[in-house]
Amino acid sequence: MTSPIATAITTRLQEALESLKSRQQYRHLPNLDHQGRYVISQGKSLLNIASNDYLGLSADNELRAVFFNQLQQLPAAQLPKMSATSSRLLTGNDHQLQALESELQQWYQAANLQDSSAPKSALVINSGYHANIGILPALTALPAKTIILADKLVHASIIDGMHLSQSKLCTYRRYRHNDYMQLALMIEQAEPDVERIIIVTESIFSMDGDRADLPRLVQLKATDSRIELYVDEAHAVGVLGEQGLGLAEETKTLADIDYLVGTFGKAFASVGAYILCHDSVKQWLINHMRPLIFSTALPPTNHAWTRFILAKMPQLNDKRAHLAALSLQLSQAISQPYRPSSSTQQERYQSPIIPYILGDNASTVAKAKQLQDAGFYALPIRPPTVPANTARIRLVMNAALTHDDCQRLIENL
């Protein structure tokens, strides 16, 4: 028999859900079937312009066939396992995982972006969310008075990581999006007894699709010896740079970034994340990063696929160039007032993420429905994911699309 308390809670939850629906903020999990660059939704084939599969690799059937053919050549005893069975500190530290970390380090070293006297180490983590909720609390576990200064538009995982970092010795503050004058002022106003200042930013922002000015941040870092720089490259790795190493490669700032976070779940069409950092930091994280210590590691078969993609990443410049051309074609077609207020230099390629801002929830939901009726899998992004009154369609280009696809999308906008 259901208790009166449980019934009361259920009733309140249902009322709260109805309130979400009335505000056009209700979410549900879609039933989808993926077929190449299309998704099948409610029996209709729609061109996928909503995923983070920037290079179109997840839709590449030939690529998967080559990978599985390579696995078939191996003796059964050498096939990567389907489960790690435990955390890395127990029995989950497989050969595939260790090889992946070594190859990540070599990838960055090959681009000559590192200080050769102090090459950085790679630590693979289960996801970008695990990384961002685990790294900052671990870093600030060191007994030293610390301030985290984060861009206003950093990802929810970073915000959660900052919440978890709060203590008597650590606080966080947020500066206006890409407003480095305000950031400089906040640095100047830091109390004299503050020992560490950690600046946190994304390199490509996930909802606005614009870039952080990494050289400017590096210049700011040089003004105060207490500053450490944390950059989340989730939406730039694989997309930018000659080797696909992201905005840090393009701007030649890697040597000055203390903590560089990347993910495999986007352009890599895989799963997992990593941090590139000094080896002493890596060892500290292994000892203090709770999501790493207390999570079962990802299956070795996933790491084998990531290694397969990583080996190809430096040779994918044609895909990166095509992606840039598509993204520029679309972004140039979107005029005010449908662009973010912070966007500048529309003629310059920013990223594959092009927000089409409508403002209110109802208009955004209606526009998404119109695009779906026209054959595009486009989704409404609403508060609290984005700030109030900036509801949008998050249009995302990928290298499997054609210029004709892009032009047809523009006509429907």
* 4-8, 73-77, 152-156, 196-200, range with the lowest pLDDT: 4-8
Alpha helix (H) ranges present in 73-127?
Answer: 95-110
Q: Which run of H or E residues covers position 333?
A: helix 317-333
Residue 337: is the preceding peptide bond cis (ω within 30°)? yes
Based on its alpha-carbon atoms, the radius of gyration of the chain, rounded to whole angstroms, reads 22
Mean pLDDT for the stretch of residues 388-410: 95
CA distances from 94 to 79, 89, 178, 210, 278 (A): 12, 11, 40, 37, 22
Q: What percent of the chain has pLDDT over 90?
A: 84
Opening angle at CA 374, ends 370 and 376, nearest 5: 90
Confidence (pLDDT) at 5: 74
Q: So what's the architecture of 81-314 in CATH?
A: 3-Layer(aba) Sandwich (3.40)
Q: What percent of the chain has pLDDT over 70?
A: 96
pLDDT-derived band at 346 (thresholds 50, 70, 90) equals low
- Our CA angle for 295, 290, 80, nearest 5°, is 30
- Domain assignments of the chain as residue spans, ordered by start: 22-55+316-412, 81-314
Domain boundaries 22-55+316-412, CATH class? alpha beta
**Chain-centre distance of CA 190, in angstroms?**
29
Instruction: Judge if pTM exceeds 0.75.
Output: yes
13-40 per-position pLDDT tens digit: 999 999 999 988 888 888 888 888 999 9
Instruction: Report the alpha-carbon distance of residue 381 to residue 361 in Å, rounded.
Output: 8
Hey, what are 252's tokens? Answer: 């030649």
| pLDDT of 184 higher than 90 | yes
Which two three-digit tokens encode residue 9? 């809670």
**How far is it, in rounded angstroms, from Cα 158 to Cα 139?**
13
For residue 47, the model assigns a pLDDT of 95
Q: What is the pLDDT of residue 157?
A: 97
pLDDT class of 65 with cuts at 50, 70, 90: very high
